[in-house]
Chains A and B, each alone.
Chain A
Amino acid sequence: MSLYYKNCLRARWQALSQKPFFRLFLHCTDCIFFGSEDAHAGDVDIGIGAVFAILAAPGTFVAVGLLLFKYSPLTHYILHETHFNTYVVSFSDEYFFIVLSFTAAAAIAVWKWDSLVPDRRDYGNLAHLPLRRGHIFLANLLALLFLAAVASVDINLGSSLLFPLVACWTAPSAGYIVVFFTTHLLSVLLAAIFGFMAVLAILGVLMAFLPYRAFRKCSVYVRSALLIFFVAVLMTSTSEPKKLDAIRSAISWTRVPPTAWFAALCQWLRGVRDPLFPPLAAAAICGSIGVLLVAIGAYALSYRRCFLRSAETMVILPAGGGVIARSVLRMLDKTLLRSPFQRGGFRFVVKALFRSETHSLAWIAFTAVGVMIASNNLLLANAKPDPISQIPSAVVLGVPLVLTYFLMFGVRLAFEIPSPLRSNWMFRLEVDPATRQCTALAKRVMIVFEAPLLIVCFAVFAYLWDWRIALIHAILAAAMAFLLIETLLLSFRKIPFTCSAPPFKQTTIVSVILYIVGLFAFSAVVPPLERQAFRDPFSSAVVIVILLMLWWLCLYAAHKNQIEPDRRLIFEDTLPPAVEVLDLTFRR
């Protein structure tokens, strides 16, 4: 019987997939998922299953964590909490899941920014076929809505199943759990769809109202700004419920981020009586409908304005850069860039880092996270004023180090993202595989990215405190930045962007943990010591110097231990074979 139904389903699916419109819809879904005009074979490619698993993982893990540490019967037994109001206790967790859902869905839309609307390649392949233009529009719109729905469900799948069960273990009835589950699900799904559609609306409005060239130019900045905003929203995930209480006296939906609307909607649906919730819940419902309508409208306009005019538009790159850029390059040619390879390579790398959206987003996003963490630290430090104001606090001293860490890490990560590999033949042809200049090139690019940060840091510290403090701090930050660059480029043997993306290695997880510990060591251990050194120069300064020397010695030893084959230039990053076959035959 099941075989019969299986065959029936298969036959229906085949019949459906033969219909041109449905086939077009499937194709549009593929296009959104698998890439835009700029995507090429050899680029970073993650399978659908992996993406779905990655999206579902954070919510699921947090729900499991809440079971273990917050809602476990043992914890409540120890704390003698046998009776409590689940709606009140779980509010902060509810808010966290809503923020997670909102930011993850919106981040997907930012990630897929270029493939959300049909592009020039779609035009070239589809426009001459006997299809109504409205059908291409409708198929792509349906594919977008489908993707938004699938992403929203996937992000919240694990958490929506686990969280209500975890939070409601003392619930008086099954109906209570059902209400909790449905209100939670509705809120997180609405938040996700709101986030996705808001990004689509921004994209559509920009495409509809800006000239194509202007849109392409500002696209990367808008994406970066959105990422910064999402990181900021994510950081409210622990503080916003408290803030909601703080603004209770002046209820206004404009004073809280959209995620708070959905948290309020959730509580309002559960019947929690609070004057704060109804206006915010109304904002959530109206906002969702409004954003959906604006997104569809702007998308339709942009389709009409950009897609249907694809044959008339042309991508023009900026020519040569401005006078300042040319002067800086000339100066670098004379000072930092010593060989023709370094000069040519530097221009190539910097242009890719600024012009390619994927690459610029990688380093800008990391820097944005650094900016958010540094600002958060500063805000927290301001809350607790420092008794000795002649010397900057450890948090303030740590700001340039946090920024350096994230900026350098972002640039280093961007180096690993390949640009179209079919274009790397020029480097394969021209560059000697035994060259040692690839690391030197990458190092110079990172130094040039770091230099403005150090200069600004020196100027700010000199203005706010003393030029001697500024100088000492700048020298220390420069030394640490240099050692960080050396560490990040330890096993680097590629020309940036010309090598295939690195495969997942067994050491990858260890590396990630090391980088997190590294951030702590880099930005949290040294600043208090440095501050101490300003007050008591000898003891703490010696500790800092010893620490830096130890770091340098470790790097030196690692360099020494590298064997020759590990230093050769590569264009394909592959895993070594599981079994190495040794050629032990005798030859005469």
Chain B
Amino acid sequence: MVALEARGLTKCYYSSVPAVRDLTFSLSEGEVLGFLGPNGSGKSTTVKMLTGLLEPTQGDVLSRGDRIERDLIHYRERLGYVPEEADLYPFLSGWEYLELVGTLRGIPRRSLEKKIDALLELFTLTPHRYSAIGSYSKGMRQRILLIAALLHDPPLLILDEPLSGLDVTSAMVVKNLVKTLGEQGKAILYCSHVLEVVEKICSQVIVLRKGKTIAYGPPAELMKAAGQASLEHAFAHLVEGGDTAQIARDIAAVMKAA
């Protein structure tokens, strides 16, 4: 069953240049869809439209065949979202933040507390659970965001840079978690710049450039079509990022200049 579908999504901000143009894709249950693109390609705008935070200028977002605006509350009950930036309330502790999110999601108190404690333990945050978020490191904030997205066991997950700031162990845990959740039948939209991970865990990949889809398919097919051995090289080839080695040499030269 199709968990999430975008049909001809277009978003124009105040300027006339559209941030996203005619984006169409679908995400089925049990599928992990990689969402790639260089900075400024329209990924975050798309994610905001998919979560209902931003209204598309044109096109529709559908969940299980229905437009999400028809029942946004119900759609969000089934959605777990990790935003790009971990902008949390610094005056709350990690535990308090999760309790707030869980209560607002209507999770019964007893099971909520158990879940929070168990997830904090698994994400190695138990010793810091009562410390203010203002004192957390970036990785700790990111783990809090991940727990907040998983608390209510959502069938649809939208993860925007979930590995940002995580240490190696936590990143491996999250990587395996995404894989496991996909196998359990959850639909996952996974935005990342870590292409090695995308290559391993995603069944489908979309590549955006300047708001337009330039590639859509399984990672292996993309690599084959681009004639590259890895997704990283295929991506660089697709987005025409230029000769990266040459750019690095130019930077070094500018650094030396008086």
Contacts and interface: CB of A to CB of B under 8 A. Distances in A.
Given A42-B134, A131-B73, A311-B48, A20 B90 contact: no
Nearest to A120: B87
Contacts of B51: 128
B103 A131 contact: no
Given A124-B85, A129-B104, A41 B53 contact: no
Interface in B84-110: 85, 87-92, 100-101, 103-106, 108-109
Interface stretch (B74-82, B187-195, B202-210): B74-82
A125 B53 contact: no
Contact of A18 (B76, B89, B91, B109): B109
Interface in A117-137: 120-121, 123-132
A18 B103 contact: yes
Contacts of A131: 73, 76, 104
Contact of A312 (B54, B106, B132): B54
Contacts of A40: 90, 134
Interface residues of B, number: 31
Contacts of A311: 48, 53-54
A35 interface: yes
A27 B105 contact: no
Contacts of B92: 30
Interface in A206-248: none
A39 B134 CA distance: 10
A14 interface: yes
A70 B92 CA distance: 48
Interface in A1-57: 14, 17-18, 20, 23-24, 27, 30-31, 34-35, 39-42
B83 interface: yes
B104 A20 contact: yes
Contacts of B74: 130
Contacts of A128: 51-53, 76, 79, 81, 83
Given A41-B134, A311-B53, A124 B76 contact: no
A125 B134 contact: no
Given A34-B91, A127-B53, A132-B73, 14 more contacts: A20-B105, A24-B104, A30-B89, A41-B90, A123-B53, A125-B87, A125-B89, A126-B104, A128-B52, A129-B105, A130-B74, A131-B73, A131-B104, A312-B54
Interface string A494-532: 000000000000000000000000000000000000000
B104 A124 contact: no
Contacts of A35: 90-91
Give the 7 A-B CB pairs with smallest separation, nearest first: A41-B134, A34-B91, A130-B76, A23-B103, A130-B77, A311-B54, A128-B81
22 contacts: A14-B109, A18-B109, A20-B104, A23-B103, A30-B89, A30-B92, A41-B90, A41-B134, A120-B87, A124-B87, A125-B89, A126-B104, A128-B52, A128-B79, A128-B81, A129-B76, A129-B104, A129-B105, A130-B76, A131-B73, A132-B73, A312-B13
B135 interface: yes
Contacts of B76: 128-131
Interface string A127-149: 11111100000000000000000
Given A30-B91, A40-B134, A124 B83 contact: yes
Interface in B127-148: 132, 134-135
Interface in A403-425: none
Given A121-B89, A125-B87, A130 B105 contact: yes
Interface string A317-330: 00000000000000
Contacts of A18: 103, 108-109
A142 to B, nearest CB: 16
Nearest to A15: B109
Nearest to A41: B134
A33 to B, nearest CB: 9
Contacts of B85: 124
- Most A Cβ at <10 Å: residue of B79, B89, B132: B89
A34 B93 CA distance: 13
A361 B234 CA distance: 53
- Most B Cβ at <10 Å: residue of A23, A31, A41, A129: A129
Interface in B52-73: 52-54, 73
Contacts of A41: 90-91, 132, 134-135
Contacts of A14: 109
B109 to A, nearest CB: 5
Contacts of A312: 13, 54
A424 B51 CA distance: 35
Contact of A20 (B81, B89, B103): B103
Contact of A125 (B77, B88, B91, B109): B88
Nearest to B145: A125
B106 A20 contact: yes
